[in-house]
């Protein structure tokens, strides 16, 4: 929606406010009324990264179907088919990992964690997945089974994200795939549609669970509400799911 002709474009879930000093109202010496207002906005990046993941997952699925339907004995064509699946699958997983990083930043102000603890994490090089899980644990009262499920899912997502973003050139054994008759580099076995789909679903489920179960912290619950509203507008989730 737009705030008047030539105004500001506002997306669902976007936080909108007027900062101190950005609104002024007055009357000139000749009695004419005047006003000046600057609008400020904040659009959480979680829905944006989930949109990137969502769109790439569709491309990954199409590529995966092409492998099943069009696989041939032509080695060059095989490479083309596999690369067509690897690239979007990798982007799905990286985007979901970044979304979890953004979730960490969204929750951290409400998680009752001290600057000293944050500094300790940096000093001890605490795994990013462990940091994200701890922040969620402090902001929400999770049942043990839910917490353990979150921990497992987040650890996998961040591990796969890190291996994509910070790749190692260390030699590793080639891998087989059930859908093709040749062995491939491990990346083509890991960054594929079925894994990208699982990562996307798990990331979405974590966000949805936190939205549905509330933290009883008004500002945080509002932030999760805004994320869900943005996901609806972007077509990632159905507007009938609230």
Cα Rg of the chain, angstroms: 23
Backbone φ and ψ for 214, nearest 5 degrees, come out as: 60, 155
Residues 227 and 45 sit within 8 Å (Cβ to Cβ): no
Residues 158 and 132 sit within 8 Å (Cβ to Cβ): yes
Structure letter (DSSP) for residue 180: S
Q: Which of 15-29, 42-56, 82-96, 194-208 has the lowest mean pLDDT?
A: 15-29
* Structure confidence at residue 3 (pLDDT): 45
Residue 6 has pLDDT above 70, yes or no: no
Q: What share of the chain is helix, strand, coil (3-state, %, to 5)?
A: 60, 10, 30
* Structure confidence at residue 240 (pLDDT): 62
- The pLDDT tens digits of the residues spanning 188-228 come to 999 999 999 999 999 999 999 999 999 999 999 999 999 99
* Structure confidence at residue 27 (pLDDT): 74
Helix (H) or strand (E) holding 137: helix 128-139
> CA end-to-end span of the chain, whole Å?
21
Residues 129 and 154 sit within 8 Å (Cβ to Cβ): yes
Q: Model pTM? A: 0.86
Q: Which of these, 46, 92, 14, 15, lies nearest to 207 by C-alpha position?
A: 46
């Amino acid at each position: 929606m737009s705030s008047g002709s030539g105004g500001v474009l506002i997306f669902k879930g976007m936080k909108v406010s007027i900062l101190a000093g950005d609104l002024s109202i007055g009357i000139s010496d000749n009695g004419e009324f005047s006003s000046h207002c600057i609008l400020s906005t904040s659009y959480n990046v979680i829905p944006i990264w989930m949109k990137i993941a969502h769109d790439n997952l569709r491309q990954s699925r199409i590529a995966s179907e092409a492998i099943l339907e069009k696989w041939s004995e032509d080695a060059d064509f095989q490479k083309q088919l596999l690369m067509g699946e690897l690239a979007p699958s990798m982007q799905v997983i990286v985007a979901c990992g970044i979304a979890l990083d953004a979730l960490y930043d969204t929750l951290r102000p409400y998680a009752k964690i001290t600057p000293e603890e944050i500094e300790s994490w940096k000093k001890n090089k605490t795994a990013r997945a462990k940091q994200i899980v701890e922040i969620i644990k402090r902001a929400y009262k999770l049942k043990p089974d839910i917490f353990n499920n979150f921990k497992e899912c987040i650890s996998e997502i961040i591990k796969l994200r890190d291996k994509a973003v910070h790749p190692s050139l260390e030699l590793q054994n080639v891998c087989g795939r059930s859908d093709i008759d040749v062995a491939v580099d491990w990346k083509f076995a890991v960054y594929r549609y079925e894994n990208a789909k699982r990562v996307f679903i798990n990331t979405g489920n974590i966000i949805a669970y936190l939205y549905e179960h509330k933290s009883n912290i008004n500002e945080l619950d509002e932030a999760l509400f805004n994320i869900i509203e943005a996901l609806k507008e972007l077509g990632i989730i159905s507007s009938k799911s609230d």
